[in-house]
A and B are shown apart, each in its own frame.
Chain A
Amino acid sequence: MATDLQNTWHPIAASTDLVKRHVYQAQLLGREYAVWRADDGYVNIWENRCLHRGVRLSIGINDGRELKCQYHGWRYANRTAGCTYIPAHPADAPARTICNNTYPVAEASGLVWCGEHATGDLPDMSGFESVTALRGLPVNAPRDMVIEALGAYAFADGCSAQTDEHGVVTVTAADGQAVRFFVQPSDSNLSVIRGVLNQALDGAERIAALRHHNFLLDVLRSQVEARAAELETPEPMTPPIAKVSADLAEIPPEQEGGRTAELRVQVVDKTVTAEGIVSLRLEAIKGQLPTFQPGAHIDVHLQNGMVRQYSLTNGPGETDHYTIGVKREPDSRGGSVAIHDSLAVGDVLAVSAPHNNFPLRRDALHTVFVAGGIGVTPLLAMARALNSQGLSFEFHYFVQSHAHAAFRREMGEFGDALTLHKGLSPEDTGAKLRDILASPGHARHLYICGPGPMLEATRGIAADLGWSDEAVHFEYFKNTKEVDDTNSFQIELARSALSLNVPAGKTILEVLRENGINMESSCEQGACGTCRVGVIEGEVIHQDVYLNDAEKSAGKSIMTCVSRAASDRLILDI
């Protein structure tokens, strides 16, 4: 049960403690917090424990966008505290549910405020519109004892003190100067006195005032500590440690079900970023957007009922919005045209949480990105992540003309790593790609995204020049292959011991759903990889463009939205 102290706001640091790129360790009611300011100004208050092996995050590294744990380098995003990368498994996207505990945060009057379950307003600060925050002073004594002692605090002539029902002590001198004290209950026998003066002081005046109060508070501290030492020391508080979600305790994270649009976002900006391409900035209507990883996409449910997939272009730590790029494709079924022509700033969209089926390895010695047209979007997010970590990469962006190059501002940060290839014919593109891909090698990885023919060509050239399947990563926008669904076959579900018939004209995914099995999916045309399922036995007719050739011939997994059985029956690992 939450106590009153847990429900109220307490200062836990001075704003000035949150120095750039620093992680500050705070404590409230026995619980430790890692407090850090991202470069965008946001203050994060997290439980001071890495979810992986419990190492204090206050000894971690604040890179301005993410916090990196010292022990195994797990990275957690600004704002969401979601884990974005697990270096021990560079080819995997971390489960979305790996998310640290975050706590309410506010910044006012030169102090940083928190409360385990704080809601409602910060303490009233009328009369303290401009302030000077005193240095926080830790005292080895219970909070009540400190509050009581502050009732007799006098820093000038004619001081009178008032203590309100929340234990806030305001001491006013005859000349109107006042100081207001909040006593932070760090632990049962540890408190921090945090005071603010009702004047914004500068320079020598400020230093003189800080010294004066520091001296007086130091005396007060000795007295209180002497008194506390005579009493029996209370047991330290032991705030319970929340358990991680059940699915994380098992090693392979479970899939979540359905093609859902659980988020509501508002279009806050719509900008033409290149000829025929708009970028949309989407912000949450309420609450916090879930963590994304570079390469992730969201499903956008349009007002006309269509569902389209768009990759996020965000850089690391940009967690207060999602940015997507949409190309106008007049020949397609109309999703992009609807976005271009009818979607307006202020409109609300239903979108899914990010799926990441195109994860970025960060253990490469060098990474080559080959983007064609609008295929630049997932690669942009990836390159921004590598760039912010100082990892080596080169970025090749093939466009029709200069005017067609999208997101040029974001790419500005790539410097020499960026090469624009403008208006090349297919032959010239091929020759250029041969140049770019001339040297495959140990720990070099290639990521490709672009129109189908270009993607095919790039994969072909890479294979030709000796790039192994494991080093080549790609994402198609769509599956343009004709899908044949004329055969019928049995599927057996190994974990639920169900046996189902898949008739002609229906997909495995549809049959599973009809039978109440909640399957996650996104593009539903064999391009995005979300509906992937393991195959235990049976032969597969692969009709997707997600798996690479090695994965297809291994026959260990199947895209249930398009692929089918070549044998009479398939045993699936679900």
Chain B
Amino acid sequence: MSSPKCKDPIALNLWYAIAPLEEVLDGKVERSILLEQPIAFTREPSGQIAVWSHDGDGARPVGASLPVQERYGYFWTTLGTPDADIFAIPEYDEPDRRNIHAASFGVNASAPRLVENFLDMGHFPYVHTDILGAEPHTEVKEYFVERSDERDEILATNCKFWQPMASRASSGGADVDYIYRVPHPYCSVLYKSAAIDPARMDAIAIFIQPITQESVRVHMMLSLLDDTSTDLDIRLFQQTIFGQDKPILENQYPKRLPLDPRAETPIRADKSAIVYRRWLSDKGITYGVIPAAA
């Protein structure tokens, strides 16, 4: 690979989910883009997945391969040399869960704008009307956010929001508990009360693959305690939700997330976003953001 278009060493050295495993077919070469770098992948006769970067023609330079890992139903790769493994989602391995690839969406927005949208409860009544929220139940109650430097991730707990129909399996309105994790600058996992077992939580993750600074593909993974809905119904539900966010995300300006605290107007409900922006600033991330002037 000649010198990468993306100049952000932190972004280059991260792992990224590229495609669900079921879509990597024997002997068929598929193309994609990661951080403006064209890449291609296939499943080799041995069953292994191979990924390589190329100059736009898809051709596989001899001997040049990118690292590959299979995790959470996707294959992951990197353009650099990550110093950390892919973050853990322990729930994924619990035997009674259904793990589903819900969708991969193209969005003309920056990856950090998507992460913030994912962390945001205040938009439920307005964007996901009558599904994840409904007026007049608009209050975002106080919650906690902490940043663990040891695990290098952000955790928001004690989040609650009133929802008319929180998931495919729910039948009526209820206050739903949420926990949010941001374990990767461009990935997030949320946990919410499971409709069939209030003591446990469904997990929903987004793994964002930045195509450019202002466009992404987002892969959505579900790990659910739901044994009644069909895969199709579950997917349609998530796709409906995401289809509602997409036009909002594509109408946010500027597209890159501004890290200057005075660029936008935060309120208490945005605590987790404020911590996220600071975390990105402290990391020194430049890809997909407008760094705060020093």
Residues of the B chain whose Cβ atoms lie less than 8 Å from the Cβ of A243: 260, 262-263
Whether A443 contacts B267 in the complex (CB less than 8 A), given A88-B122, A244-B262, comes out as no
Whether A59 contacts B136 in the complex (CB less than 8 A), given A241-B263, A248-B265, A249-B262, comes out as no
Distance in angstroms between the alpha carbons of A249 and B262 in the assembled complex:
5
Contact A251–B262 (Cβ < 8 Å): no
Contact B264–A73 (Cβ < 8 Å): no
Q: How far is the CB of A489 from chain B (nearest CB, A)?
A: 32
Contact B264–A52 (Cβ < 8 Å): yes
Q: Digit string of B255-292 for contact with A (CB within 8 Å is 1, else 0)?
A: 00010111111111101001000000000000000000
Q: Digit string of A484-521 for contact with B (CB within 8 Å is 1, else 0)?
A: 00000000000000000000000000000000000000
Residues of the B chain whose Cβ atoms lie less than 8 Å from the Cβ of A32: 253
Number of A-B contacts (CB under 8 A): 103
Contact B140–A54 (Cβ < 8 Å): no
Q: How far is the CB of A291 from chain B (nearest CB, A)?
A: 14
Contact B266–A89 (Cβ < 8 Å): no
Residues of the B chain whose Cβ atoms lie less than 8 Å from the Cβ of A251: 266-268, 271, 274
A268 proximal to B (CB < 8 A): no
Distance in angstroms between the alpha carbons of A246 and B47 in the assembled complex:
57
Contact B268–A89 (Cβ < 8 Å): yes
A98 proximal to B (CB < 8 A): yes
Contact B251–A55 (Cβ < 8 Å): yes
Q: Which of B117-146 contact A (CB under 8 A)?
A: 120-123, 125-127, 135-140
Residues of the B chain whose Cβ atoms lie less than 8 Å from the Cβ of A186: none
A87 proximal to B (CB < 8 A): yes
A49 proximal to B (CB < 8 A): yes
- The binding surface of chain A is classed by DSSP as loop
Q: Which of B125, B251, B260, B265 contacts A73 (CB 8 A)?
A: B125
Whether A53 contacts B268 in the complex (CB less than 8 A), given A71-B123, A363-B138, A363-B139, comes out as no
Residues of the B chain whose Cβ atoms lie less than 8 Å from the Cβ of A244: 262-265
Q: How far is the CB of A168 from chain B (nearest CB, A)?
A: 31
Q: Which of B116, B252, B267 contacts A89 (CB 8 A)?
A: B267
Q: Which of A69, A245, A249 contacts B266 (CB 8 A)?
A: A249
Distance in angstroms between the alpha carbons of A86 and B121 in the assembled complex:
13
Distance in angstroms between the alpha carbons of A87 and B263 in the assembled complex:
21
Contact B253–A54 (Cβ < 8 Å): yes
Residue of A nearest to B268 (CB): A251
Q: How far is the CB of A138 from chain B (nearest CB, A)?
A: 20
Distance in angstroms between the alpha carbons of A52 and B261 in the assembled complex:
12
Q: Which of A48, A98, A391 contacts B253 (CB 8 A)?
A: A48
Q: How far is the CB of A42 from chain B (nearest CB, A)?
A: 24
Contact B126–A363 (Cβ < 8 Å): no
Residue of B nearest to A48 (CB): B253
Residues of the B chain whose Cβ atoms lie less than 8 Å from the Cβ of A91: 139
Q: How far is the CB of A113 from chain B (nearest CB, A)?
A: 24
Residues of the A chain whose Cβ atoms lie less than 8 Å from the Cβ of B139: 87-91, 363
Contact A89–B140 (Cβ < 8 Å): yes
B254 proximal to A (CB < 8 A): yes
Residues of the B chain whose Cβ atoms lie less than 8 Å from the Cβ of A88: 121-122, 138-140, 267-269
Number of interface residues, chain B, beta carbon within 8 A: 33
Distance in angstroms between the alpha carbons of A363 and B253 in the assembled complex:
28
B4 proximal to A (CB < 8 A): no
Distance in angstroms between the alpha carbons of A87 and B137 in the assembled complex:
9
Q: Digit string of B160-201 for contact with A (CB within 8 Å is 1, else 0)?
A: 000000000000000000000000000000000000000000
A362 proximal to B (CB < 8 A): yes
Contact B251–A98 (Cβ < 8 Å): no
Contact A87–B138 (Cβ < 8 Å): yes
Distance in angstroms between the alpha carbons of A100 and B117 in the assembled complex:
22
Contact B261–A249 (Cβ < 8 Å): yes
A51 proximal to B (CB < 8 A): yes
Q: Digit string of A84-96 for contact with B (CB within 8 Å is 1, else 0)?
A: 0011111100000
Q: Which of A1-60 contact B (CB under 8 A)?
A: 32, 48-49, 51-56, 59
B247 proximal to A (CB < 8 A): yes
Residues of the A chain whose Cβ atoms lie less than 8 Å from the Cβ of B265: 51-52, 98, 244, 248-249
Distance in angstroms between the alpha carbons of A88 and B126 in the assembled complex:
11
Contact A55–B252 (Cβ < 8 Å): yes
Distance in angstroms between the alpha carbons of A289 and B252 in the assembled complex:
30
A365 proximal to B (CB < 8 A): yes
Q: How far is the CB of B263 from chain A (nearest CB, A)?
A: 7
Distance in angstroms between the alpha carbons of A69 and B264 in the assembled complex:
14
Residue of A nearest to B263 (CB): A243
Residue of B nearest to A386 (CB): B136
Contact B125–A53 (Cβ < 8 Å): no
A130 proximal to B (CB < 8 A): no
Q: How far is the CB of B79 from chain A (nearest CB, A)?
A: 29
Residue of B nearest to A246 (CB): B262
Q: List 23 A-B contacts (CB under 8 A).
A: A53-B116, A54-B264, A55-B248, A55-B251, A56-B253, A70-B126, A71-B127, A72-B122, A72-B126, A87-B122, A87-B126, A88-B121, A88-B122, A89-B139, A89-B140, A89-B267, A89-B269, A241-B254, A249-B266, A251-B266, A251-B267, A251-B268, A251-B271
Instruction: Given A88-B138, A244-B264, output 15 extra A-B contacts at Cβ < 8 Å.
Output: A48-B253, A51-B265, A52-B264, A52-B265, A53-B264, A54-B258, A55-B248, A56-B251, A71-B127, A87-B138, A241-B254, A251-B271, A363-B136, A363-B139, A364-B136
Closest 10 A/B residue pairs (Cβ): A87-B138, A88-B269, A243-B262, A88-B122, A88-B140, A249-B261, A363-B136, A56-B251, A249-B262, A72-B122
